[in-house]
Chain A
Amino acid sequence: MNRPELLARLLIIAGILLAVGAPLYLWSRTPLIHARMAEAGGWTPDVLQAEVGKPLHLKITSDDVVHGFAVGQMDMQSVDILPGKVADITLTFDKPGTYTFYCTRWCGLNHWRMRGTIEVSGSLSDPSTRSGQRPEPGAVPLYVSLRLDLDAPHDAPSIPPNKPSAVNGQQFTDELPITNYQFSDYYRSHSPYQVFTDLSTTPLTESQRWDVVAFLWQSNTTPESLVNGKRLYAQNCAACHGENGGGDGVFADDLTTAGESSMQTMAGAMDMAMQAPTDFTDPRRMLGASPALLQGKILRGGMGTGMPMWGSIFTEEQIWDLVAYLYSFQFEYHP
């Protein structure tokens, strides 16, 4: 073998090694994130660092069951994390801050505890982007500015004899000066029962007033909102609160049992009831709650009960969609 040929062969071998090895080396440098059920450790690692504008590559695998990956308050498709497979995800952040990533496929009673954070450093690349996506710093949620106590009982003193109908309610709206009730500020800060009492100056009967309330609640939402709320509810709430809102989801019994053992020594039997998921079909509870109160409960979570804190995951718009959907368990809306 003469020298040039040997050189050529060596060159080709080196080229092949580089072509195969370089991507492999880069790929192996991205650390593998393991997803496990919350009881077994959740995400490892659960704190990630990123920089504004620089793509963040993630490789995630599951060690036990099907999990999912999504970043809260970010417009992204959730990615399924299957055991024995590695999911490649690339994220780009255009705003600094702390983001929450979370599991999107139910993986047990403590599914919602499977969360981690991404710390994004750097300066704002373009201030005009993502406006409205996250609440501005300093902006407080409505329940705070209204000074609502999220844990106070809020049962409606009286309830309608049957499900109020928005179709019936619409008939009475022509003759009533109710346009001021239709502003979203009024709707968000008043419970259905408060509106029902506000309407007592009108000549309507009680059940007619409830029908008007149903109409007002529907006119403050859109069919798209309700569809979106229904989807979010099915994915995130139904496992405990039940697919039909009855507080009878597949985890309801487990939650009550878990509540009994954890609360027993602390405050006695009365507090145990807190652990049972709320029944959204109960008119006493729902008609006494204003949208702002429900928004607060979803934002903040249950504090010690099984109810997670959703404030770092849902956008404000998503929470309002959910709230609108929750009222649909109480009111008969237009088809």
Chain B
Amino acid sequence: MAWILLGLLAAVVAFAPLPALSSPPQARTLRQGSAQAFEIDARQFAYSPSELKVNTGDTVTIQLVSADVVHGLYVDGYDVSVEADPGQSATLTFVADKPGSFRFRCNITCGAMHPFMIGKLTVGSNDWLYRSIGFSILAIIGILLFPRSTPITNYQLPPTDH
């Protein structure tokens, strides 16, 4: 009986829509697919801000402002890029229709540490983080509530023959 209850809870954790996504449909369409604008300041060898969070379906507009040398911004997975000279900021617009976390990186060689000039774009909420936290809690509860029912039989070393 208790096993069935635990199984049901696990199913809830795995498939229940998250509170953020279960808002009424009207609010959802307003929230999702809306325009998100960011201004990213790029200088050797970092972006600021370097983490962007948007909802799935948003139209993302990134204005790239270079403050020292020519920098670029390339979003992995979306395969879009933009290049900005200092004094000539450039704009990149795309629709974030793929959920997940994506790296964006400088695609114009900008000095010795150029390969480390990276940032992160998160599209949609991080469902799996919350679901795995839920699973971990369930597992701990399970361990505490259901001690092993089959007794551990005394284990004897096999006789050694000399």
Contacts and interface: CB of A to CB of B under 8 A. Distances in A.
A65 interface: yes
Interface in B63-88: 65-70, 85-88
Interface string A78-99: 0000111000000000000000
Interface residues of B, number: 16
A287 to B, nearest CB: 25
Interface of B: 65-70, 85-89, 108-112
A250 B66 contact: yes
A227 interface: no
Nearest to B43: A250
Interface string A143-173: 0000000000000000000000000000000
Given A234-B88, A237-B87, A243-B87, A84 B109 contact: yes
Contact of B70 (A65, A234, A249): A65
Given A65-B111, A83-B109, A84-B109, A238 B88 contact: yes
A234 B69 contact: no
B6 to A, nearest CB: 58
B109 A105 contact: no
A244 to B, nearest CB: 11
Interface of A: 37, 64-66, 82-84, 105-109, 111, 234-235, 237-240, 242-243, 249-251
Most A Cβ at <10 Å: residue of B85, B108, B111:
B85
Contacts of A82: 109
Contact of B69 (A107, A238, A240, A242): A107
Interface of A is mostly: loop
Nearest to B72: A66
A64 B85 contact: no
Contacts, number: 58
A98 B28 CA distance: 66
A149 to B, nearest CB: 29
Nearest to A83: B109
B65 A106 contact: no
A237 B66 CA distance: 14
Given A107-B69, A250-B67, A234 B87 contact: yes
A106 B110 contact: no
B37 to A, nearest CB: 17
B117 to A, nearest CB: 12
B88 A66 contact: no
A106 B70 CA distance: 6
B69 A243 contact: no
A64 B111 contact: yes
Given A243-B87, A243-B88, A243-B89, A106 B109 contact: no
Most B Cβ at <10 Å: residue of A106, A109, A234:
A106
A81 B110 CA distance: 12
A66 B110 contact: yes
Given A105-B85, A238-B88, 18 more contacts: A64-B112, A65-B69, A65-B70, A65-B110, A66-B108, A107-B70, A108-B68, A108-B69, A109-B68, A234-B87, A235-B85, A238-B87, A239-B88, A242-B87, A250-B65, A250-B66, A250-B67, A250-B68
